[in-house]
Structure 1
Amino acid sequence: MPSAIPTADAPAADSAWPRVAQQEQEGRQWTVATGRWTALGMSSLPAWQALSKSLAAAPPADDRAWDLRPIEQLDHIGAQLLWEHWRHEWPATLEMEAQHKAVLDQVAQYTVATPDEPPKTLADRIRTFSHNGPRAMVVARDFIGLIGQLAIDVGTLIRAPHRAPWRDFSGHLYQFGATALHITALVGLLIGVVLAYLISQQLRNYGAEAFVVNILGLSLVRELGPVLAAVLIAGRSGSAITAQIGVMRVTEELDAMRVMGIPHGFRLVMPRVLALAIAMPLISLWTSMAALLGGMLAADAALDISPAYFLSALPRAVPIANLWLAMAKSAVFGILIALIGCYFGMKVKPNTESLGRGTTSSVVTSITAVILVDALFAVLFKGIGFRG
């Protein structure tokens, strides 16, 4: 029977290391285990590296023969290592001492093989892809979930209006609407002046000064007014929404609300969305009026078109359908800006760097979404608001 005896020139410290060696006896390959197969014996890094190397050179096979008698000590750690190496199957031929067999029998009895996982279904693959797929898929999943939660909260508001946070709603309505009137009016006025002066330079060359009312009216009421107001609100109120909710994340107020059972969607998201959905059409109308005022003054100065003629020609040049279309898409702009601000605010991590990054992403995403939705409205309603 094979034996494994350390050579005389082997270091004394190495002789106790657990290891296996290949020996041939009577035309058969034997794997002989020597050393101390204990947690202490495998605790040093050189001992573990030597054992791993020797085990890698002795892969299990159906006709393998193992001799464990030279093992000095064997505990449950060593027995578990051998059992795992044997892939939870006893070797075809095994020689060992009675005390080693008792330890191995106990390990084999209480070690349960991990069952094979069932094959993934199509639903499992879609769910895994949505959770771990590209960033766009994750964002779309979370944003759709936020919209669904908003719909549920609005239903709750309709069923039980007395439970609604009306004080928060009125505060957000004042903050998003009334406090933004001065900046939107100033920017709208300047845009109207600049646009009127640029248009007047071209119309004068063709003697079509009277058409400045048509161009200014359609461009400002239908497109520039709502988009300009939405961009200003996205940079002003959208960033404020993200910063407010993000600070609540940093100061752990969101966690405290969850502990107290206060839903985030009903108390944080819904009041802001409703407030901005109502304020945005009014701000858009206010901005368009300021831009038309600036354009009217510039047309009077550059083209000698009196304000009386401008005001009388404006209703004929711009059908009322343009105003309703502008207010409708402004409401959509407001809902999008509020949802995007709340989404990035909820995603802020409890550190100041994430707060700044989330606020920047909120503004950029809101402006991009506003432009995309405006282009969609332009395509869908291209036949509305124009005189034949």
Structure 2
Amino acid sequence: MRSPAIKTEIATEPGASHSFRLQGDWTLRALAPRLATLRAELGGAPTDARWLLDDVARLDSFGATLLWHAWGQRWPAAISVADELRQIIARVADSAVEPLPAAPPFTAVDAIIVLGRAMLSFRDHALDFIRLMGQLCLDVAYLLQHPRDWPLKEISANVYKVGLKATPVAALVGFLIGIVLSYLSALQLRAFGADIYIVNILGLGIVRELGPVLVSVLVAGRSGSAMTAQLGVMRVTEELDALSAMGISRTLRLVLPKVIALTLAMPLLVLWTSGVALLGGMVSAWMQLDLGMAFFIDRLPQVVPVSNLYIGFAKGAVFGLLIALVASHFGLRVRPNTESLSANTTASVVSSITIVILVDAVFAIATRSIGVPR
């Protein structure tokens, strides 16, 4: 690759104009190292200069655009250029002349079209989701009739990945959330002399609501995205097609183990995270309000009925089931390209968190009279 160069010549005749002889490769790769220098040299060219492009070996659209702007977007009066290079510059000149098409105004018809597309997309997602749930029910019925075909190794591996490997980050986040919640509550309770009620706030808030939702958000971002990405990569690499060609059910070997594992692991993660969050709250209450940990542990069962723990377990199981189903649904919808993989992974996380919050609201309404001391 020859570096681009500009050789300036001045004719000997009186009143003659400058001549600019261009040499080398005028391509993006060749121009990039000394682009600023070339622009300065081209910018100092007079309007009546003569341009000699006979020694230019290669010219791409970037080099042609650079020259076209240096000429003031018009052809020089005196130019020597090969027909092939002239055609390249002419295409650039034509594209510069044509104005960009104006965006059409957004009308009511366009709004109806956008709404219709969104509704059709939601319908497709709903049908695929129902189809996936039906196939999983058929797989469970088959496994009940053939117990030896249960994918126990896959279930165990997924429990380890989504459960045990998630405990460190869940403990860290839970501990910090417990400290923050206890600290902010202590500031308000101290003003009214109601220090002991911090046990009620932390117990009900963490065991019943914050623990399950917090773990679900962490699992949706960590394990749910990993499930979608795994299935999506298998789609891109045509492994799912290979399983179908070998007569192996992809839902039985890939989706069902993930759903069962996350449904089993989520209640345990909720219990673990809630316990660590309460520990953080106890530490903060001891430092802020001088409430002993023994008092905290002794009062907690009195103000937080055990039914709240059952509600937290139920939320964890339902949230785990929904996260696994949504993650598998979007993973199976991935097209064999990387753009679809990234888009569906993002949609999986957002949809999982949204569904978790909606279902948590349903739980709150359905259990509003259970486990809440009056």
Provide the residue aligned with 1:243 in structure 2. Answer: 229
Q: Which amino acid aligns with 2:200?
A: N
Kindly provide the CA deviation profile for residues 184-220 of structure 1, in whole angstroms up to 9, marking residues without a partner as x.
0000000000000000000011000000000000000
Provide the residue aligned with 1:180 in structure 2. Answer: 166
Distance in 2 of aligned mates of 1:254 and 1:131: 29
Map residues 367-378 of structure 1 onto 2, 5 A cutoff. Answer: 367-378=353-364
SS in 2 for 1:134: helix
Provide the residue aligned with 1:170 in structure 2. Answer: 156
Provide the residue aligned with 1:260 in structure 2. Answer: 246
Q: In angstroms, what is the RMSD of aligned CA positions?
A: 1.5
Runs of 4+ in 1 over 2 A off after TM superposition: 130-133
Distance in 1 of aligned mates of 2:153 and 2:322: 22
2:338 is aligned with 1:352: yes
2:127 is aligned with 1:157: no
Shift of 1:387: 2.1
Which structure 1 residue ranges, 5 or more long, are not aligned?
1-129
Map residues 1-388 of structure 1 onto 2, 5 A cutoff. Answer: 134-388=120-374
Provide the residue aligned with 1:65 in structure 2. Answer: none
Distance in 1 of aligned mates of 2:118 and 2:340: 21
Q: 1:131 to 1:298 in 2, by over 3 A?
A: closer
Shift of 1:132: 11
Shift of 1:366: 0.5
Q: Is the 1:132–1:138 Cα contact (8 Å) retained in structure 2? A: no
More displaced, 315-324 or 158-167? Answer: 158-167
Shift of 1:158: 1.8
SS in 1 for 2:302: helix
Provide the residue aligned with 1:100 in structure 2. Answer: none
Distance in 1 of aligned mates of 2:354 and 2:129: 16
Q: Which amino acid aligns with 1:337?
A: I
SS in 1 for 2:368: coil
Q: Which amino acid aligns with 1:277?
A: T
Q: Is the 1:131–1:138 Cα contact (8 Å) retained in structure 2? A: no
Distance in 2 of aligned mates of 1:339 and 1:193: 33
Distance in 1 of aligned mates of 2:237 and 2:324: 22
Distance in 2 of aligned mates of 1:329 and 1:230: 9
Q: Which amino acid aligns with 1:284?
A: V
Kindly provide the CA deviation profile for residues 31-67 of structure 1, in whole angstroms up to 9, marking residues without a partner as x.
xxxxxxxxxxxxxxxxxxxxxxxxxxxxxxxxxxxxx
Which structure 2 residue ranges, 5 or more long, are not aligned?
1-115
Q: 1:132 to 1:358 in 2, by over 3 A?
A: closer
Distance in 1 of aligned mates of 2:345 and 2:119: 24
Q: TM-score, normalised by structure 2?
A: 0.68
Shift of 1:131: 12
SS in 1 for 2:291: coil
How many pairs does the alignment contain? 259
Q: 1:366 to 1:133 in 2, by over 3 A?
A: closer
Structure label with greater radius of gyration:
1
Kindly provide the CA deviation profile for residues 232-276 of structure 1, in whole angstroms up to 9, marking residues without a partner as x.
000000000000000000000000111111111111111000000
Q: Is the 1:157–1:164 Cα contact (8 Å) retained in structure 2? A: yes
Q: Which amino acid aligns with 1:205?
A: A
Distance in 1 of aligned mates of 2:182 and 2:319: 26
Distance in 1 of aligned mates of 2:285 and 2:118: 57
Q: Which amino acid aligns with 1:156?
A: Y
Q: TM-score, normalised by structure 1?
A: 0.66
